[in-house]
Every structure is written in C-alpha cells, then in structure tokens.
Structure 1
Amino acid sequence: MTYDIASIRARFPALDSGVAFFDGPGGTQTPRSVIDAVAAAMAAPLSNRGRLTAGELNSDRIVIGARTALGDLLGAAPGGIVFGRSATQLTYDLARTLARTWAPGDEVVVTRLDHDANIRPWTQAAEAVGAVVRWADFDPETGELAPSDIAAVLTERTRLVAVTAASNLIGTRPPVARIAELVHAAGALLHVDGVHHTAHACVDLGPLGADTYVCSAYKFLGPHLGVLAGSPELLAELRPDKLLPSSNAVPERFELGTLPYELLAGAEAAVDFLAGLAGDDAGTGTRRERLVRSFAALEGHEDVLRGRIESGLAGIPGLTVHSRAKDRTPTLLMTFEGRDAADAYRFLAERDIAAPAASFYALEASRRIGLGDAGGLRIGLAPYNDASDVDRLIEGLARFTGA
C-alpha cells in the first residue's frame, strides 16, 4: 500500500495556482476526474429520471450510481442515502420531521462541541413542540467529549442525541460507538454530524452506531452537495413534508424537487478518487475494500504531516494550540499572544498560504474554550497536502510572530 503524493497532487488543477491550501475543513479543492464527471453529465442528454429517453436513462443511472458510491463510502445501504443541498438543510429537514414524533416534556440532547448545524436545527425543532433541550459539555482543557458527558444528561424522556463524529474547530473525535450504546440503551436515536470526520477516516455506519449520519461531498473532494445516510427501515417510518405528486418511496420522499444530477455524478467520481488513494493496491477488490485501504493510507500520510506541523509549531513562541484531544483529525486551532488570529490569516494569505481564522460556526465550542466568537487560526490537512506545504506554513507563522 502506497501514498504517492506527487501523483495525487498532479490531479488537482487548483494546485497550479501555487497556493498551499490548509483550508480543507471548510471545503477541499477538486480533482480533475470530478470536474470531468460534472461536465460529462451536463454535456450528455439529461432529463428528469425515467426509463425511456436517453436523458431519462442518464439521470436514472447517475442517481443509482451516486447512491451506490455513497453507500460504499459510508458503509450504508444505498437505499438509505438521501441527497440534499447541504448537510445543514438535511439536518433541518430531519429535525422537523422527527419533532412530529416528540411530545411536550420529551428531551433532546446536543453538545457544546458541535458545529451549530448540529445544534440549532435540533434546539429549534424541540422548542417548536415543547420538548426540552439538554446540553452535554466537554472538557475545555483537553477538548475531550467522553461517554460520561452524554450519560450525565440522558433520561427516560430522551428521544434523540445529536453529536459530532469530529469537531470541525479543534478536531476532537468523540468515541461515537460507545456513546451510541448509551443512547440506544436509553431508547433514543443517535444523529451524527460526520461532515468533518468523513474526509479523514473510513466510515462504517453499523459499528459506528449512528441511526442517521450527515456529510458534505465538498469536504471530501466532491461538489457542493449534502448527504444523509440512515437505515431504509428507519426512513420508512418517517413522514417528511413533500409535494403530493412526488414519490413516496424511500429515499426519494426526503428529496425535495429535482436532484442536481451533475453534482451527483461528481460525488460518485469523488468517491472513486478516494478509493484510488492507496496507489497500486487500489485496483483490486470491491470499491468498499479499496476505500478501506485508501483511508488507511491517507490517515498515515496525514499523521506524518500533522506531526511535522506540531514539531514546527513547538518552536514558535507565543503560539497556543487548542487542539489537544488524544483522538483527533489533522486539524489544529491556534491563537497568538498579543496578536489577532485574523492578522495571521491575512499575513499568510499574502504569501499564498490559505489558513483562515474564525470560529467556523462552532460557536459553542469556541466560547467554551475561551475564544469567544472570534475563534482562532485553523490549519486543516487534505489529501493533497505535502511536506513542502507544511514547511511553507511553519516558515510563514514564524515570520508572522517574529520568531
């Protein structure tokens, strides 16, 4: 199993710009194969799904292919894959639908660690039906969210727990499978925000224990598209708002209006690209098997680069790294003594290094670790980053701080 970073980088046209991209947690760059897949879908005959004309058949093929590909990526049944405009939109739709099954006094659990897209849809849906919102805290010193933090707020009235699989702000990966055991023992559902997690680790919904799981294709080299995965059996129990003549089948009943077929084609191409990251080994086995190998190779590559970043940062005085959990993605949030993180963002951008500063919609987490709404400078790795990117970053930060 290999990870040929030079070959991988050669397939990203955006890298020709000379920019070192460390903004992957906010959205990755796009490989040529994904761009070509989107273009090819739009250049071919394309119509609403059907079984007669060339355009109808093309759209149907694209939808089926994309559901199968995302099922392979997430270890989920293709029949449980729902597409939407974004993970936020899908979470709002799911929250409103599930809230119809809640009664006044029922309880919903959210965490301080999460992105607001896995907090506000649930709190607003709970408030609309008179359900109670309970908050699970995390340790602001370590960044850890422990199963005991969830257990502390579970009761016999808990109907749903929403938790992240990885913090987009500080990278923390909570032990979701252990949390799922507690949640299910309490008779509740577990919704997992996998938007940041899916880009860095192989997902398998069964062992993870998620009843529903959302992610975004543009965070793992694809187009701007949201994905929700759940068991077809669970989805069949839910009755979302829909147009009268639109399909009542699962998963179509959750997809409002005509799907963006060209983006679905791009999403399938992104999964295929990820399945090829492991090099020569990637050509054997099923796509799921190739994805497992490729993510193992990717994690090894990103671990090495993260270590290189952390070693470099250790030599820069006045810099504090707030990503401290034992299990975390290659994502580092930092602040600077006496300097504004936004100034570091601008300083690096002027040197063609993309590393933004904000709280990145993780307001609760940013406030909990003492950074208010401003947050810090976030460094996030993606499959195309290499050692030269890291060296440019460390040099840029050293110059910014005057080290």
Structure 2
Amino acid sequence: MAYDVAEIRKHFPALAEGAAHFDGPGGSQVPAVVGEAVGQALCAAIANRGSVTTAERRADGIVRNARQAAADLVGGVAEGVVFGRSMTQLTYDFARTLAKDWQPGDEVIVTRLDHDANIRPWVQAAEARGATVRWAGFDATTGELAVDDVAALLTERTRLVAVTAASNLLGTRPDVRAITDRAHAVGALCYVDGVHLTPHELVDLAEFGADFYACSPYKFFGPHLGLVAANPALLETLRPDKLLPSTDTVPERFELGTLPYELLAGTTTAIDFLADLVPGPGARRERLARSLRAVGEHEDALARRLEDGLRQIPGVAQYGSPARRRTPTVLFSVVGVASATVYAKLGERGVNAPAGTFYALECSRWIGLGDTGALRAGIAPYTTESEVDRLVTEVERIAGAAR
C-alpha cells in the first residue's frame, strides 16, 4: 500500500488548526490515539507495579509493553530499555554512573556536532573526576563529521565516545558504526544520541554497535519522556545511585521513583501508530521497517523540494551540504533579517519554522552562527508538498521585502 499522507493527517487533531508544522525536530504533533491511551491509563484503576491486584497488574503490563515496543523500535531487547524524564536527564544519570570508575588521565571524546545533552553531561562528569575531555570537530561547510577526526583522538585511556546519530541542527548523519568500531578497538564505550534520527529511519542497535542508544518518544508522536536502550549485561555492571529499598534488578535499578505509567502507555501506542503508517501484516518490527522506509522516501522528497525552493530565493543562505546523507532537516537564514524576526513573521502567517541553536550550541558556533543560530525546518511524516511550498512562498516574501 502506498504512503497516504492525507489519510495519516486525519489522525492529528492539532493539524486542524491550520498551521504548517516544520517544528517536528523539537517535538512532533501527536495522533489522537496517543492522547486517548494516556487518558485511559490515567483514569483506569492503577497502582504501583505488582502481581496481587488488578491495578498492580495493569501497571506492570503497561511497563512491560512499553519496554517491548521501545525494543522493537530500536532493535534492542526489552530488558535493556531504561525510561526517564528525558534524554537529557538519563544522559546525566548515566554520565554520573559511568564516571564513578574514571580516574585522572582518563579521556572522554565529545563532538562539536552534537546536541548539548550529549556533550555537557560528559564534560561535567569528566571534570568532576579529573578526566580529560577531547573535542572532535567537523567540516563546517558540509556539516560532515569524519570518522578519522574522531579516531585521531582515541587512545588507550579513552573511556567513552559520545556521538550523535544525526545532528538536530544540520541533519548530518555520521558513520556511527565506524566510530563505535574504532572506540571498541581501544576498549572505550560509545553513547549514541539517536533523538533526531529515530523518527526518520529504522534503527538497529546491533548494526550501530552502540553501547547506549538514547531517544525521545515525543519526537515520534509520543509523550514527553526519554529512553536509553543498552545490553542488559552491560547494565548489570553499572551501579547507579539509588534509594536503598528500591529494586536492584536491571533495568529498574536505573529508574528513580515510580514510572509515569500513562506516558509509557502513550509511548507504546505511538510506536504502534508509527508501525502502521503503511498498513500491512507482520510483527511490529517488520511493520516498523516497512513504514519507516516509506516515511523516509516521503520526507526525503519533500526535503529536496524545500532545499530547491529556498535555493531559488535571492538572499537566503542554507547551511551544510544538501548532497550528503542526512535527515530531512534544513537550516537556513535570510540575509539582512534576524532569524528570530523571520521566525516571528512566519508564525504570524501560520508557518511554524523556529529559529535558534536548538541546544546544538557547539555546532552553531562551529559553523559561524554563534549563539543565535538560524531557522530550522524539519519535515515530518505528516508534512505535505503544499506546506513546503507555503513555507518557500512566505520566506520569499520576507526576503523580497528585505532587499
């Protein structure tokens, strides 16, 4: 069955408001079934997880279902899925836990391409232990992070490499597998930020070779929380700080306090919705592969349309190479007009394409945009050709008025 964007849009109540949403990289719109799942979990009889009462069993089932759904999404195992408040919170937690074994002289590698949530937790954890932080740069023109630029920093003292699977600012997709292979060759672990990639392509933890893979359900139609997937055997070797009476089993030992059952119910539903964007038979992982393949084709075509349209407008600058393999993310600015002003003008006209660094501060500085950044337009599964054309038309009007 062909990808039917018109049919898909019917499931998103927010789209009826009329705005064209290019703000998906910051958080997607949500289908009605996800909101319903959250509400049902909140309103049903529920208790702390257990096996005695119906309410306890319901809570336990919600958690188990969410772990399995997340594992199916990223190609992991349910026993290795850790849930938390956000990817940022989880990364801080894992940084503090891993750093317990670091010594002065140990080294951690971070990249200038990453979101700050996969930089600052490692920098601060290293500083607290007297470890050295080594920075990998990237090509500021193309946005490409070369494997050799990371590999050149690796030594026998490297304990961890933190790298993005896709830049949330430029959409660049580094060769994660090559980087993890190089890291593992010197005995280092690799923590991969998959927040920006996961909504756009089927992820396979084994193919990436990632020791930890972090993502956020609210980027792919779900509620606001984060998750990290890892090998349970690796998690067994880590001792996070936790309350004395809380369980010591994996993955629960990493989840501080009672889990948000309603958000986990919404996460399962979001992943099922994503799997069924292109209806058809098969287990959830098979359905996810089929749907995300179709999503990729749809989004890539629209991203090319957007890039081509913006390229025709005098006074519009785009950042990064459009020829590279990347997510459908376009970073641009209008010469002579502050990006915040363009953002506001677009918003007044019902086009949501925000401006800023989007917490990719090091990346923005590296490509010469400083702490201001630029406009970011992200294509989502519900984006249409007419919305792309609408964005191009409005940018052309703003640029024309500035000339």
Work out whether the TM-score is over 0.5: yes
Q: Alignment partner of 2:198: what SS?
A: helix
Aligned residue in 2 for 1:316: 313
| Structure 2 unmatched runs, 5+ | none
The answer to whether the 8 A contact 2:302-2:384 is kept is yes
The answer to whether the 8 A contact 2:165-2:174 is kept is yes
The answer to whether the 8 A contact 1:162-1:192 is kept is yes
- Distance in 1, matches of 2:101 and 2:145, equals 28
Pairing 1:282-361 to 2, within 5 Å after superposition: 284-324=281-321, 326-361=324-359
Amino acid at match of 1:50: G
Amino acid at match of 1:394: V
The answer to whether the 8 A contact 1:240-1:254 is kept is yes
1:275 to 2:272 alignment: no
The answer to whether the 8 A contact 1:118-1:164 is kept is yes
- Distance in 1, matches of 2:398 and 2:201, equals 32
- Distance in 2, matches of 1:141 and 1:63, equals 44
Aligned residue in 1 for 2:242: 242
- Distance in 2, matches of 1:150 and 1:196, equals 20
Amino acid at match of 1:68: Q
Q: TM-score, normalised by structure 2?
A: 0.98
Q: Alignment partner of 1:113: what SS?
A: coil
1:130 to 2:130 alignment: yes
Q: Alignment partner of 2:122: what SS?
A: helix
Pairing 1:195-274 to 2, within 5 Å after superposition: 195-274=195-274
Q: Alignment partner of 1:389: what SS?
A: helix
Q: Give, in angstroms, the shift of residue 314 of structure 1.
A: 1.5
Q: Alignment partner of 1:270: what SS?
A: helix
Can you list the C-alpha shifts for 1:190-209, whole angstroms capped at 9, x where unaligned? 00001111111110000111
1:9 to 2:9 alignment: yes
- Distance in 1, matches of 2:116 and 2:307, equals 28
Q: Give, in angstroms, the shift of residue 324 of structure 1.
A: 1.6
Aligned-residue identity in percent: 61
Pairing 1:68-79 to 2, within 5 Å after superposition: 68-79=68-79
The answer to whether the 8 A contact 1:312-1:394 is kept is yes
Q: Alignment partner of 1:374: what SS?
A: coil
Q: Give, in angstroms, the shift of residue 133 of structure 1.
A: 0.4
Can you list the C-alpha shifts for 1:210-264, whole angstroms capped at 9, x where unaligned? 0001101101110001101100000000000000000100000000000000000
- Distance in 2, matches of 1:2 and 1:198, equals 22
Can you list the C-alpha shifts for 1:42-77, whole angstroms capped at 9, x where unaligned? 121111001011110110000000000000000001
Can you list the C-alpha shifts for 1:302-358, whole angstroms capped at 9, x where unaligned? 011111111211210111110326111000111121111111101100011100000
- Distance in 2, matches of 1:128 and 1:2, equals 53
Q: Which deviates the most, 63-72 or 325-334?
A: 325-334
Amino acid at match of 2:364: S
- Distance in 2, matches of 1:315 and 1:334, equals 13
Aligned residue in 2 for 1:142: 142
- Distance in 1, matches of 2:2 and 2:177, equals 29
Q: Alignment partner of 1:161: what SS?
A: strand
The answer to whether the 8 A contact 1:323-1:331 is kept is no
The answer to whether the 8 A contact 2:140-2:320 is kept is no
1:366 to 2:364 alignment: yes
- Distance in 1, matches of 2:180 and 2:161, equals 9
- Distance in 2, matches of 1:23 and 1:346, equals 13
Q: Which deviates the most, 330-339 or 235-244?
A: 330-339
Aligned residue in 1 for 2:373: 375
| Structure 1 unmatched runs, 5+ | none
Aligned residue in 2 for 1:108: 108
- Distance in 2, matches of 1:4 and 1:46, equals 37
1:183 to 2:183 alignment: yes
Q: Alignment partner of 1:109: what SS?
A: strand
- Distance in 2, matches of 1:314 and 1:259, equals 47
**What is the CA RMSD across the aligned residues, in angstroms?**
0.8
